Amino acid sequence: MNSKEIIEQYNSAVVCSYGRLDLALECASGAQGTDADGRSYIDFGSGIGTNSLGYADSEWADAVSGQAHKLQHVSNYYYNSTAAEFAARLTEMTGTDKLFFGNSGAEANECAIKIARKRSFDKYGDAGRTTIITLVNSFHGRTITTLSATGQEHFHNYFFPFTPGFKYVEANNIEALREAIDPTVCAIMFEFIQGEGGVNVLDQAFVDEIFALAAAHDLATISDEVQTGVGRTGRLLAAEHFGVKPDIVTLAKGLGGGLPIGVCLTRGEYADVLTPGTHGSTFGGNPVVCAGGLVVLRRLSDPAFMAELGKKAEYFKQSLEALPRVKSVSGLGLMLGAELDGIAAGDVMKKALDEGLLVLMAKAKLRCLPPLTITYEQIDAGMAILSGILRKEE
């Protein structure tokens, strides 16, 4: 089937909950893909930050297919060595104590919210100490509760009633954060860099204030690193840039190298809040996904890989800053947003697709989340396409 036929068949059978572009990718390798009509594309989006090692990394694909041939699923009645090794390795690498396995970012955040509220209930026996402060322009997922947690009014629609108990504070507004603390608050949840919200980096002073207030009022700190985690910002966790250790950290997108996984990492007393019967997920800890995730973790534990990632990220950022019509670039590592002058990011995204480049947007910015394995040649090729589009519009 050609792209047009695939798109028609898909749309005839799948609910229309996304605004899609007309591209049907057929196969890909590294940061380069080919569509069903044989056209090729450079990838600056990595499936929204999921294909951390690029498409079809051979070590990753071997690990995944090897595990599928051996044992694909056991359920959470039982144990398996691949999930055990993955969990041990990830908690060790992140300096956390224990994790819960789910399948997506929203599921990881649901778990974080449950742990924060149960810990508050267990400790204070007070059903009223339940409020979680989140930030304006945050994004935490699409379930009813994570939509509630998301501090963007346009998501709080249609699906009433939403889960109560969330309060939104403007990012980097220390005064507003202080004022939001009251006896009903049990946790503060935030992204170090708001991804969907426009690649907005939190100020060090604001992050410090979150942790000072949390210490003073015994609040849980929850960092949603679903997008920023797993090497995306040049470090395993974005928290490392800020020198803080949240009680609860959620990871998802890049963790499985392109397979569905979401984990909720916990420290200290938060590691023992959930008890048998209080939470679960059928596919959580799936061995095939964990086998892929282990390859991602192995790659990120290699100092040479991380050093190269840092250099490449710097090169990527400089290249983006040098483009015509780029007013400013925000973000860290390979999570970058470009503010454009006089042209809509959505138009650039569509034109880029026509010219053979996959790129994302976030609010008014053009957003780049390339695979961590992208080559300098691929960065140059993608930037040349963007440069051509932006120059033409001048």
Ligand X SMILES: *Cc1c(COP(=O)(O)O)cnc(C)c1O
For residues 196 to 225, the per-residue mask of contacts with ligand X, x marking binding by CB under 6 A and - elsewhere, is x---------------------------x-
Q: Would you count residue 248 as binding ligand X (CB under 6 A)?
A: no
Q: Would you count residue 106 as binding ligand X (CB under 6 A)?
A: yes
Helix axes of 376-392 and 303-321: crossing angle, nearest 10 degrees: 20
Residues 23-82, interacting with ligand X (CB under 6 A): none
For residues 137 to 156, the per-residue mask of contacts with ligand X, x marking binding by CB under 6 A and - elsewhere, is --xxx---------------
Element (H, E) at 69: helix 58-70
- Closer CB to ligand X, residue 255 or residue 383? 255
- List strand residue ranges (DSSP E) for 191-301, in order: 193-194, 200-201, 220-224, 248-251, 262-266
How far apart (Å, rounded) are the C-alpha atoms in residues 45 and 37?
Answer: 20
Element (H, E) at 208: helix 204-217
Q: Would you count residue 195 as binding ligand X (CB under 6 A)?
A: yes
Rule CB under 6 A: choose which of 135, 226, 255, 374 binds ligand X: 226
Are the CB atoms for 186 and 324 separated by under 8 Å? Answer: no
What minimum distance in Å lies between the beta carbon of 190 and ligand X?
Answer: 10
What minimum distance in Å lies between the beta carbon of 58 and ligand X?
Answer: 26
Of the candidate spans 87-95, 102-110, 120-128, 321-329, the one that interacts with ligand X by CB under 6 A turns out to be 102-110
Are the CB atoms for 99 and 265 separated by under 8 Å? Answer: yes
Are the CB atoms for 222 and 245 separated by under 8 Å? Answer: no
What minimum distance in Å lies between the beta carbon of 107 and ligand X?
Answer: 7
- Closer CB to ligand X, residue 226 or residue 320? 226
- Closer CB to ligand X, residue 139 or residue 155? 139
What minimum distance in Å lies between the beta carbon of 238 and ligand X?
Answer: 10
- Closer CB to ligand X, residue 181 or residue 248? 248
Handedness of CA 46, 51, 54, 55 (dihedral sign): negative
How far apart (Å, rounded) are the C-alpha atoms in residues 273 and 279?
Answer: 10
How far apart (Å, rounded) are the C-alpha atoms in residues 270 and 265?
Answer: 9
How far apart (Å, rounded) are the C-alpha atoms in residues 143 and 385?
Answer: 37
Label residue 273 exposed, middle or buried (CB < 10 Å: 0-12, 13-18, 19+).
buried
What minimum distance in Å lies between the beta carbon of 260 and ligand X?
Answer: 8
Distance, C-alpha 20 to centroid of its chain: 20
Residue entry with tokens 């930050």: 49
What minimum distance in Å lies between the beta carbon of 262 and ligand X?
Answer: 6
Rule CB under 6 A: choose which of 91, 130, 131, 227 binds ligand X: 227
Residues 252-271, interacting with ligand X (CB under 6 A): 252-253
The 3-state DSSP class for residue 146 equals helix
| Binding-residue total with ligand X (CB under 6 A) | 15
Residue 166 in tokens? 């969330």
Q: Would you count residue 110 as binding ligand X (CB under 6 A)?
A: no
Of the candidate spans 17-25, 68-76, 159-167, 188-196, the one that interacts with ligand X by CB under 6 A turns out to be 188-196
Distance, C-alpha 257 to centroid of its chain: 12
Q: Would you count residue 105 as binding ligand X (CB under 6 A)?
A: yes
Residue nearest to ligand X (CB): 105
Positions touching ligand X (CB under 6 A) are 104-106, 109, 139-141, 191, 195-196, 224, 226-227, 252-253
